[in-house]
Structure formats: structure tokens, C-alpha cells
Structure 1
């Protein structure tokens, strides 16, 4: 085991000792209470299987078969989740074949951040994670279930499902992915059209044509954003079947993997093993973080993994991420960290090659439980159809394309994809894997905005054609729900291409689409809650240093002490697009560094 991985893990275990013990004690008690379906009154139980048909009703009445609860995030507007339409009936059949029963326990909302980018609805995005967690708990609260299958892929859905399911951690639980869409317009071409649009060189029709050619069919978006980062991390943590993350929808192998996931959770339920509480351990959390860092994954996971872990009594923080990143080499380049998409990653060797290489480097804990059994050996194998049967065969020994995926002894860079920044402006994270080394250090005057729309106006007016650190504040959790600010990427990239030194500093998010412009995001404390970001004035010098991890406002203390904070009118964030229902909830959101959750201590 790499000494840094071992040291950070030991620190997490010690830090989490009390909270982890309390969590496991609660799960032990829930398990000791037994299959609660058998303790329901006759009236309760009759309601529980009244909607069943055929043998399912008889089997549930006899109380002698396992019942698997399906929590689904299906809707057919979200391309990644559209394939889930047929999964419940398929899963029910697979569970019957395995001598069990399955019921859809509940549905959870699943919003598409791609649709809401730059729109008021994006201000509900982060909070939708909390809603999903609570909805998951509501679905499983009927106490009808011996195991669970979680159908979800995208940004807040997987973290929310995880947080909710961990409240039922005494149950064996398996995630069921659906796979990415086929590769469309290459990401480099899509990004070029976006920048042309930002400069006014192409019109709406051209932009829509490019976007439609990129996002063109059912399945997960193919760039390496939060959705695909979720899949990679969940597999690395052993919460879904080996090699299942990136098999395309509507493929025979995908169908076989779905059947296998259903039968596996039935097997675990029948055996009384494979509790989610035991799989989701301190060591599996570290494995997930290492896999994220080794591939330059989404910065959203710096919040989600913290919140998810806390739901299991495991306390991790950004310092853990920073130290793990220094020990973890970057083995993959997938857009926006490179030109390849997630299908190219999969074809180059994918998860099997990645896990094998991280194991070879002593970067993953082997003594972990997974939904497939003990250890990670099976996660180095590739699911394959052989004579109509699903088998796991030995994974590749060499990368199929070293421009996309590399071995441990020839990484793209010696350290991982993220950097922790700190200084008088607070703490922030930066996705450095996509940023060229010549842009790692930016010291320039601040240009301050208090909403993302104002930046676009200034860009179009030519007011940003200079070296600058763009500050977009009052975008934190309590100010407006911490929306993602992808709309800022094209204009800032244009400025960089024009030869200007440019960086972004914000208490908002950029997520998996953080690209070639250095962006210090998730700044904490946020401007609304006493963060020094609120006192930054136009022209102030700011230093953003990804090499040393510095985020400093270069203004003397006396000057800052004399400045009064003029908070903007934020009441407009409380209404429209459903925001009125979340206004009070938003005030409960914690700092990003501890997961930005309203549900967890």
C-alpha cells in the first residue's frame, strides 16, 4: 500500500471512529429486528402486496422469499435515464428466476443539469440531491424489503440515492447503470462551436445543430462530467457489478448485466450478506476518491463524496482529497481533460485496466467488501457474452490507446486531477487535470460580478479583454443554491485563447465541465456567510496558484477592514421555477467542505 494512501486512510478511520461506530450500531439493530415484512400487521401486509400480480402476491403472502425494492430515477426527458423505462419488468422477471420477488418501492426526481444550465431551475439542482435522499428513504420505509436496487446515473441522483439507501444500510444494495450514448460530434468540435457562438461568429441555429449532434440519443452524455464520474466512482467502491459502468444501452451485454445485478442482490439477500453498510467503509471511500483523482473526474464529487460518506458515519474532508491527489498519478484523459470521450475510455481498457493499474501501484485497498464479493480481483475482469452466457474474463494487460488511458508507470502526470487552494479568500478546489501548466499560476486584477449573466454582457462589450481574475460571487449554497456555472466556460476560454491571463474565482460550481481555464470553485466561506469574497473590489490583485495551492487577495488588512460589504438584493432567488418551495431549505445547506448538505451533521 502506498504510504500516503495508508496514512490518509488511517486518519479517516481515527477521525470517524465514534460516528462510524454509531452508524454501524444502528444498522446492526435494524438487521437484528429481522425482515420487518414479517412483523407487519395483516392489514399492513395486504396493502403491501395488493398491487402485485400472479405468483408475486402468493410468494409475498407466504413470507418465504426475499423481496427486492427498486428505487428508480426514470424519466424520459433525461437521456441517461430514458433506458430505465423497461428495467422494472426485466428486474422483476430476473428476481422471480432467482427465487425472489421485486417491487418498485418508489421513484425519485431526476433533473437534467444540461437543460437547466444558466437558467433559474439550476438553483434547485444541488438541493435536489437532498430531495432524492429523502425520497429514497420514503420508498424503502415501508419495511417490505430484504434488499434494494438503485436505478440512477446522473449528477445529484447517485449521491442522493446513496445517502438515502445508507439509512437502510443493513440491506444488500446494488446500483444498476444504463450506459452512455454512442459517440456523437467530437467534444473538441462542440467546444469550438460554443466559443464561436460566444464571439458572435455563428448563430443559434449552428449552435443548436452542434449541441444536437453531441447529445443525440438515449444514454449518458459522453463527456467525463459528473454523471460518468459517478459511475466510475460507484464501481470503484464496489457498489455495482464489475465492468458495468460504460456498456451502452440496448446492448445484449447491458441486458445481461441488469439481470445479473438483480440476481446478485437476491443472492445476497437470501444469504444475509453484502450489507451496504459494510461495503460503504472508510477504505472503499478512499478507493472511490483515488479512482476519481486518477481520472480527473468531476469536482462535484468533492462535495458529494463528503456528504455520502457522512451518511455512513465516515468523515472525510478536502485535505484528504488534496493529499490523496498528490499521491495519485493521472492515468486517463477524457474530455474536458482530453479529446476522447467515455466510450473511448471504455474501449481503451476502461474500468478493468484502470483498477488493475491502481492495484499495481498500491493505491487501492484490497481488503474491502463489494457487491461481487471480497476484494477487487473481479473488478479487473471484463464482462463478456460467451455462447449467450455472461462471464467475466481477464482484463487487458495493456492499454488500447495510451492517448486516453495509461499504465501506472507512464502516467499523464505524477499527481491527480484536483488541487486544494487556500488563503485569505478561504478554501477552494480546482480541477487541474484539464489546465495546461503555463496557466497554473495567475496573478491579475479582479473583475467582480454578482451573477453569471452580467459576465456575459461584459464579455460581449469587450470589457474583459485584459488579464483578469473573474470573481463571480453570491453563488454559494445559501445565496442561491450553488448552481453550476457552465455558461462561463466559453467566454473565459475565448479570453484565454486571445492570449490574456485569466482565472475564475467563485463560490459557485463548475463541475465536470471545468476545462482549460483555471477555476477556483466552491470558495468557502461563501460571500453571503462572511467570506472575504464579499469584500473584493474591481482592480484588487488576486493570486490563484495551482502549483502551491494558494488563493490570496493581495490587499492589506487595514484596507479590507475599512471596507463595508454591500450585499446585493438576493430576494429574486426566492421565487420562480419552484424556488419559493426551497427558499427556507436553502438556508440549512452546509459549507461545501462538509458536503453542502441540509440533512447531515
Structure 2
């Protein structure tokens, strides 16, 4: 094993010793030696099976049959989740075929950040993760289940399902993906049209045509944003079947993998003889594996919020520093948009997750001796699924990259490190994803221009007020202020300025997510402005230095004069309308970005 991986793992284990022990006590106490439904009062049991067909009812009375709870994030607003419409019946039939039962335990909300970008609804996006976690807990609270299957893919949905699943960590669990849409208009061409539109050089009709050619069918969006990073991480953590993440929807192989997943989770129950609860799969080693994979693939910065929150749900105290220390020694092996020109289908075709696992295992960068839903040992995930005469089989994945413009071996990486920086200075602490930023753009020293919403920046751009070197400071965008919406509406304007030869950077207590592009962006800055963070005292014209190479975030003004400034108050009318007022109680309880921007942090910390 690489010494840095051992070092981070050991300190994570030590730091988490008390909370992890308490967590394991909790899930072991919840586990039962036999089906919990067998201990229910007769009336409770009758309610739980009243809606089942006769055959399923009878099987549920027999305690050697497993009952699998299905938690689904299906809706047909999300292209990625639309394929899930018919999954419950497919899963139920697959379970009946082996003498078990599936029940949809509940649904969870699933909103699309792509639809709500720049709109009021985006302010509910991060908070929806907490709602999904709670909805998962409600679904499983019936306590009728021997195992659980989770149907979810996109940005906050998988992290929310994970947080909920880990609080029911005594249940064997498996996540079932639905796959990415086939490739459409390239992400590079789409981005070019967006920039031309921002400059007034493309019409709205041209822009709409471009977007609809890029996002054109059921399946996950094809860029390597948070949704596809989620899928890669679920596989790297051993919670998908090997090779399941990036098989396109509505294909025979996709259908076979869904059936196999449903039947595999039964084998992980006590009745199946391989009892493996999810709370024992997700340990410190598996979390370290997930962060290594995040860096090696150039994954979404949203996971600097999600992975600490997920870890805490399993009693593990993961920090940004742990993530950054791993980034220093994990090479970047994949270039998928926005880090490169290829999309996720190209990544999969070039060797995908199986190639990545093999490279990282052979380099000693991953813990191999871990539990997975496919059995003991991560080496199983160097295999890929195929159909042979209609039968699902696994074969060894490619030992060589089939396209080194997309996926590279350890001896010729795109970068010797993973590209995550913890940004530290007198403006606070944040993160930057430098893997998508050209080296010549990673350091910017320029005057600040302060904004309180994205439209202000767009208006300033159109008025010609930003035709200079500039650090855009977008404040009052943190979790406790307005729910921490993504801020992609600014990206085309800042990209145009950079293309015109100006030094441009962004500093914000908000977030940019997995589609963060070529602009150096210090994001998730905390303390956030509403909590009195330094951003609340920045003024137009202040000289700022954003150094992605050194990981520094500095305001270059007289320290005494800066300390004497009064912080600016947040804009009036925040968080009202479009249902946002319903989330006021949650915003007030959210932790800092570094602690996962979670409403549950204080409760989980009490497990110490």
C-alpha cells in the first residue's frame, strides 16, 4: 500500500474510533437473528402485507423467504430516473423467481439541478439531500425488510439515499443504476454555443437546439458531473454490481444487471447465507477508496460536501484535509468533460471503472481487502459484465486503455496528482478543483468585484463593466444563507472574459459542482458570509490573490483596516417564494460546508 493511503486511513480510524464503535453497536443492536416481520404483532404484519398478491403474501408468512424493501427516486422529470418507472415490477418478478418478495417501501423526491439552474428552485437542491435521507428512513421504518434496494442516480439523490441507508446499516443493501443516455452533441460544442449566446452571437433558438441535442433521451447526462461521479463512487465502494454503472438504459445488458442485482441482495441476507449489511461494507478503508477514485477520475467538487456527510452517517469523521492529502499522491487518470472532451460513454468504452480499479489496486492506492456486494475483495471490480447467449457473465476488463486521450495507465497520467486543493487564507477555507483549469490560469491576482446574485454578474458583463482582470466575489450563497445553490449561470460569462485574455477567478461561499469548468473557482468558502465570514467585509476594488497551485486564498489589504470594517448584511427577501420558506428551519441548522453542509451533523457528532 502507498504510505500516504495508509497514513490517511490510520488517522481516520483513530479519529473516528468512538463514533464508529457507537455506530456499529447501533446497527448490531438493530440486526435480528431472523426476519423482523416474524416478531411483529399480527395486526402489524397484516397491514404490511395487505396490498400484496396471494403468492407474495404466502411467501412473507414463510420466514425462509427474504423481503426486500425498494426505495425509489423515480420520476420522469429527470432523464436519468425515467428508466426506473418499470424497475419495481422487474425487481419483484426477479425476486419471485428465487422465492422471495419485493415491496416498494417508499419513494423519495428527486429534483434536477439542470432544470433549476439559476432559478429559485435551485436553492432547495442541497437541502433535498437531507429530505431524501429522511424519506429513506421513513420508507424503511416499517421494519418489515431483510434487505434493501436503492434506485437513484443524480446529484443529491444518491448521497441522500446513502445517508438514509447507513442509518439502517443493519440491512444488506445494493444500489441499482439505470445508466447514461447515449452520446449526443458533444459537451465541448454545447459549451461553445453557451458562450456565443452569452456574447450575443447566438440566438435563443440556436441555444435551445444545442441543449436539446446534448440532453436528448432517457439516461444520465453524459458529462462527468455529480450524477456520473455518484455512479463511479458506488461501484468503487462495492455497492453496485461490478461494471454496472455506465451501461445504457433499455438495453438487454442493463435489464440483466437489474435482475442480477435484485437476486444478489437476497444472497446477502441471513436467509441467503452471506449476511453482509451495508454498515459493515462502508468502513474507513472503503471511504478512502472512494476519495482515491474521486481524485483519479477528476470527479465532482460536490463530493467535498457529500462524502463527509455520508461518512458521518457511518460514524466516520472524514475531513477536507484527508481528501486533499490523498489528492497529492493520486494521479489523474481520466479526462472526461469538463476535464477533457470525452463523455462518460467514451470513458466506459476506453476501459472504464474496471481499468481504473486495476490500475489503482496494482499501484497500492486502493484497499483491496474490503467487503463488497459481489463478495470479499475489490479485485472483483476489475471485471466487466457481458451477455453470452442471453446469460449474464463477467470477464476480466481491459488491461490496457483503449484510448489514452481519455483514460491512462499509472505510468503516463494526465497529472501526477488529483487536482483537489484546500484553499486557506485570510478569506477563510474553501476548495478548488484544478484538474479542469489550465496551469496558466490557476493563479489570479486581481481587484474584486462583489456580487450578491448571478444576475448582477450577468448584467455587469453585458454592460461591459468586467472587461478587465477581475476576481468575482459571489457571497451570501452558503448553506445557511440561501441553501447553497449551484452557480453555473456565471460560467459562460467568466469563460468569455478568460478567452479574451483577462485574468479571471471566482470566490464564493456557494458551489459549482461537477460541471465546474475552466475558471479557477475557490468555492465552499467558510465561514460563510451570513455567519460573519471574511467575504462579508470584501469591497469592490480590494486586491485578491487566488492561488490554485499553492492552495492560498488571500485578501491583499491592510489587516488592521480590514478587521475594522463592518460586515455587510445579506440582501433582503432571501429564501421566500417557490416553497423556499418551508426550508428555513433546515437552513438554520445546516453545518459548515467543511462538515458536509448537513442538518444532521450535530446529532451524529453526539455519538461521540
Instruction: Report the TM range for the smaller structure's normalisation.
Output: over 0.9
Q: Distance in 1 between matches of 2:345 and 2:565?
A: 51
Which of the numbers 422, 425, 429 marks the counterpart of 1:423?
A: 425
CA 1:73–1:92: 2 relative to 1, 3 Å = same
Partner of 2:289: 287
**1:169 maps to what in 2?**
169
Aligned match of 2:113: 113
1:544 & 1:566 partners in 2: Cα distance? 22
| Aligned equivalent of 1:140 | 140
1:485-524 to 2 correspondences below 5 Å: 485-524=487-526
Q: Is the 8 A contact 2:155 2:227 kept in 1?
A: yes
CA contact (8 A) 2:292 2:365 kept: yes
Q: CA deviation at 1:36?
A: 1.8
Contact 1:382 1:394 in 2 (8 A): yes
The aligned counterpart of 2:95 is 95
Q: Give the C-alpha shift of residue 61 in structure 1.
A: 2.4
Structure 2 residue 160 is the aligned partner of structure 1 residue 160:
yes
Question: Which blocks of at least 5 consecutive residues in structure 1 are unaligned?
Answer: none
Separation in 1, partners of 2:571, 2:474? 15
Q: Does the 8 A contact of 2:35 with 2:63 survive in 1?
A: no
For the pair 1:39 / 2:42, whether they are aligned, the reply is no
Q: Within 5 Å, give how 1:238-249 maps onto structure 2.
A: 238-249=238-249
Alignment of 1:113-512 (within 5 A): 113-269=113-269, 270-271=272-273, 273-512=275-514
Instruction: Deviation per CA, 1:195-214: give whole Å up to 9, x if none.
Output: 00000111111111000000
Matches within 5 A, 1:5-20: 5-20=5-20
Structure 1 residues 172 and 296: alpha-carbon distance in aligned structure 2, compared to 1, 3 A threshold: same
CA distance in 1, matches of 2:419, 2:175: 25
Instruction: Measure the CA separation in 1 of the matches of 2:495 and 2:56.
Output: 57
Are the aligned partners of 2:59 and 2:99 in contact in 1 as well (CA < 8 Å)? Answer: no
Q: Which runs of no fewer than 5 residues in structure 2 stay unpaired?
A: 603-608
Match of 2:605 in 1: none
| CA shift for structure 1 position 574 | 2.6
C-alpha distance in 2 between matches for 1:429 and 1:301 = 11
Structure 1: 4+ residue segments shifted above 3 A = none
* C-alpha distance in structure 2 between counterparts of 1:408 and 1:414, whole Å: 9
1:360–1:408 CA contact under 8 A, matched in 2: no
* Distance of 1:391 and 1:417 partners within structure 2: 36
For residues 559 and 21 of structure 2, the distance between their equivalents in structure 1, rounded to whole angstroms, comes to: 44
TM-score (norm. length: structure 1): 0.99
**SS of 2:31's equivalent?**
helix
Query: 1:129: how far off?
Result: 0.2
What is the RMSD computed on CA atoms of the aligned residues?
Answer: 0.9
CA deviation vs aligned residue, 1:417-469 (integer Å, no higher than 9, x gap): 31111011111111111000001111111000011110000011110110011
2:154 alignment partner, SS class: coil
- Mapped to 2, the partners of 1:388 and 1:378 lie a distance apart of 22
1:128 to partner: Cα distance: 0.1
Change in Cα spacing, 1:266 to 1:514, as seen in structure 2 (3 Å) is same
Q: Deviations over 1:546-570 (max 9, x none)?
A: 1111001111211112211221334
- 2:494–2:519 Cα contact (<8 Å) kept: yes
2: distance between equivalents of 1:34 and 1:569?
56
